Structure 1
Amino acid sequence: MRHAQIISTGGYVPERVMTNADFDQLLGEPVGDWLVENVGIRERHFMAEEQVTSDLAVAAGRIALERAGLEPNDLDRIIVATDTPDYLSPATAAVVQAKLGARRAGVFDLNSACAGWVTALDVAAKTIIIEREERFMLVIGAYGMSRFLDWNDKKTVTLFADGAGAVIVGAGSQPGWLATVTAAAGEYHDALGIYSGGTYRPATAANLTQYGPPQVQFVRKFPATFNTEQWPPLIERLLAKASAATGVRLQPDDVNHYYFTQVNLRVIEATMAAIGQPLSKTHWIMDKWGYTGSACIPMALDDALAQGKGPQPGSLALFCASGGGIALAASLWRWR
């Protein structure tokens, strides 16, 4: 049997730091204490003026390649999960291929907003299993949301940040990927996002005058409890699917590591309580790196491993994500 395994990780955080105190001064009001208490964010990183999303992706990808002992030309595919691409077209993955020098690799982007990396990971796993001549895939979550911030909007500018996380998915003889489930609440597609620049509202001179440049914005409310209500049943579905696939009944207690979308620490705490799991089984990075969207889960995984708190051989790691749309995805892996 041919199986898909995660064989290495990589992460990249740009150098520029903005603390909550910086935003207190920028916005002219105290926001830092509220952010720490309600969200868990203390500081975040933004890319330099000369950097773009593909640069973040390449930096994380190089680390993952080095740790796997691979060269760029060993890659069969590059998948970039992002909703902050270098261009509307072509794919940012093509730019990454060029910058890495990975000439053999096929490329494409996947946009499922902040659920994109978990969805891309699922695509890579299934491709490895089916396409028997392909051996290695670079799956990157990359986020350059600083380019789309309204610096006067305290609801968004204090949350979002930049970064990238990557894994190499390769073929192995033992199961790594066990199952993935996806879901969506498409009725909220117009609640949070970047709504200019596409066919809905092209970046014409008239639209730029009327609406301004493409910026991330909260347009209308969606339930504040959405993730805490949706993540536990999504995890239940995932474990049921993995149980059917493996023939072993899996419960939340059997999962050793949980990695969630890093938008709100309080939501992660509530979710772990809802599924009866200790916080020691999860890991968070939003306190030091802010909310990095499609990059945040692989960044959290890489950071946990760097601290010696990540998955060990044989342990189960669960990735659970949600993002604009509202799109959701969860995937279960046995670490090899």
Structure 2
Amino acid sequence: MTRIRSFISGVGSYLPARTVTNEELAKTVDTSDEWIQQRVGIKERHIAAEGEFTSDLATAAARAALDNAGLTIEDIDLIVVATTTPDYTFPAAATLVQMKLGMNHGFAFDIQAVCSGFVYAVTTADSYIKNGLAKRALVIGAETFSRLLDWTDRTTCVLFGDGAGAVVMERIDLADDEAERGVIASALRSDGKHWDKLYVDGGPSTTGTTGHVHMQGPEVFRHAVGKITDVVYATLEQSGHSVDDLDWFVPHQANRRIIEGAGNKLGLPPEKVIITVDRHANTSAASVPLALGVAVADGRIKEGDLVMLEAMGGGFTWGASLIRW
């Protein structure tokens, strides 16, 4: 007997060239580096160039992940892009990435779960692989979130940035006596009654415009830590593991205080928590794969490590995925 699992064989990232510091923002909006760092822990963020689209960021990250895995696009049969900021209302950004990578086989689609999108996408690709619908998948989180911002609103414009991260997920058949590898367990949640606590005031069927981000910051903060720990514990319970077994916690990078609060509630030592919000800001669906990419590239996450991914976003949506690297 064998067990079908999906494991991550490659990781890639892309950040736009332009970096915007807190000091630069303070020249145009009533804020300061000290104010931003004290409240959310952000020092800088990357902003996409004019004419640089979400599919461009996603394609660059995908190429990097393929190179890291030692594969070509011919080896891929599924592309899933998690994004809130697609190039167009339709077609899906994933199909544009498929075109830009020169792939004319397989299938591609988007997932929209805002900041939880990448965790949702990993869980979806894992299900497709385990059910025989794909052998290798490119799973991408990509955002040009800066295009949803009101740059005169200091409560939101300082929080977000642009970027993309990608992983290659592959099928592996494990014998019963082989050690666990790949995606072990996942938990996904949503609760639509909280939609107006974090949303964009535009859309094709409402205003016909893109709209801007609106957020009830204290309310989001109040819910975040509890919901994060909820899905982490649910995922651990499914797997038979405990918090003590975790080597790394890779959370959504929205707010350093939320990350630290969740880590404390879980009883995780700070040195096991990956934090990149200071240099990337909140890149929504791209934040988890970007943080993952940093920790893999610098050697912290290595083969055999037990890694917990977690995110929470507008909707509310939230989820976690436990992976044996």
On whether the aligned pair clears a TM of 0.5, the verdict is yes
User: Which of 266, 273, 291 is the matching residue for 2:257?
Assistant: 266
Are 2:73 and 2:101, in contact at CA under 8 Å, matched by a contact in 1? yes
Q: Who is 2:141 aligned against? A: 141
Aligned residue type for 1:306: A
**Superposed, which structure 2 residues align to 1:228-243 within 5 Å?**
228-243=225-240
Give yes or no for the alignment of 1:307 onto 2:304.
Answer: no
Q: What is the letter of the counterpart of residue 328 of structure 1?
A: W
| Deviation by residue 1:33-70 (Cα, 9 ceiling, x = unmatched) | 01111211001000100100000000000000111111
2: CA distance between counterparts of 1:19 and 1:296? 18
Aligned partner of 2:324 in structure 1 is 334
Residue aligned with 2:318, SS: strand
Residue 291 (structure 1) aligns with: 282
Q: Which residue of 2 aligns with 1:9?
A: 11
Instruction: Indicate conservation of the 8 Å contact 2:221/2:258, yes or no.
Output: no
- Of 171, 189, 192, 2:198 maps to 192
- Could you tell me whether the CA contact under 8 Å between 2:98 and 2:104 is conserved in 1? yes
Deviations 1:106-153 (A, max 9, x none): 010000111010011011111111116x32100000010111211101
Partner of 1:156: 156
Structure 1: give runs of 5+ residues left out of the alignment: 204-212, 244-249
Secondary structure of the residue that 2:58 maps to in structure 1? helix
1:202 Cα deviation after fit: 2.3
Q: Distance in 1 between matches of 2:314 and 2:224?
A: 12
* Percent of residue pairs bearing the same amino acid type: 36
**TM-score (structure 2 length as normaliser):** 0.94
Q: CA RMSD in A?
A: 1.4
TM-aligned CA deviation for residue 186 of structure 1:
1.4
Structure 1 counterpart of 2:87: 86
What's the counterpart of residue 177 of structure 2? none
Shift of 1:257: 0.7
Is residue 318 of structure 1 aligned with residue 311 of structure 2? no
Q: Look up the match of 1:254.
A: 245
Q: What is residue 165 of structure 2 aligned with on the other side? A: 165
- Supply the distance in 2 between the matched residues of 1:195 and 1:153 (Cα, whole angstroms): 14
Consecutive unaligned residues of structure 2, counting only runs of 5 or more, are 175-180
Secondary structure in 1 matching 2:309 = strand
SS at match of 2:115: coil
Q: What is aligned with 1:210?
A: none
Indicate yes or no: 2:212 matched with 1:215. Answer: yes
Partner Cα distance (2:220, 2:277) in 1 = 21
Structure 1 segments of 4+ aligned residues over 6 angstroms from their partners: none
Instruction: Name the SS of the counterpart of 2:26 in structure 1.
Output: helix
Contact 1:142 1:164 in 2 (8 A): yes
Asked if the contact 1:97/1:105 (under 8 Å) is kept, the reply is: no
Tell me the CA shift for residue 190 of structure 1: 2.0
Shift of 1:293: 0.4
Q: TM-score, normalised by structure 1?
A: 0.91
Query: 2:147 aligns to what SS in structure 1?
Result: helix
Of stretches 279-288 and 189-198 in structure 1, the one that deviates more from structure 2 is 189-198
Partner of 2:45: 44
| Aligned partners of 2:198 and 2:220 also within 8 Å | no
Instruction: For 2:237, give the aligned amino acid.
Output: A
Which of 178-187 and 193-202 deviates more?
193-202
**Residues 108, 44 of structure 1: CA spacing in aligned structure 2 closer, same or farther, 3 A cutoff?**
same
- Change over 3 Å in CA distance of 1:81–1:234 after alignment to 2: same
CA contact (8 A) 1:190 1:220 kept: no
What is the CA–CA distance in structure 2 between the aligned matches of 1:193 and 1:12, rounded to whole Å? Answer: 26
Q: Secondary structure at the match of 1:61?
A: helix
Contact 2:84–2:112 (Cα < 8 Å) also in 1: yes
Q: Distance in 1 between matches of 2:315 and 2:31?
A: 31
Residues in 1 aligned to 2:15 and 2:136: alpha-carbon distance in whole angstroms: 24
Q: Relative to structure 1, is the Cα distance of residues 292 and 102 closer, same or farther in structure 2, using a 3 angstrom cutoff? A: same
- Paired residue secondary structure (2:219): coil
Task: Give matches, 1:122-133, under 5 Å.
Answer: 122-131=123-132
State the distance in 2 between where 1:255 and 1:130 align.
27
Instruction: Provide the rounded CA distance (Å) in 1 between the counterparts of 2:270 and 2:15.
Output: 24
Q: How many residues align?
A: 317
- Partner Cα separation in structure 1 for residue 9 and residue 290 of structure 2: 15
Partner of 2:24: 22
Shift of 1:173: 2.5
Q: Which residue of 1 aligns with 2:96?
A: 95
Give the 3-state SS of the residue equivalent to 2:323 in structure 1.
Answer: strand
Contact 1:53 1:143 in 2 (8 A): yes
How far apart are 1:7 and its partner, in Å?
0.7
Does 2:184 match 1:178? yes
Task: Name the SS for the 1:321 alignment partner.
Answer: strand
Q: Is contact 1:179–1:242 with CA below 8 Å preserved after alignment?
A: yes
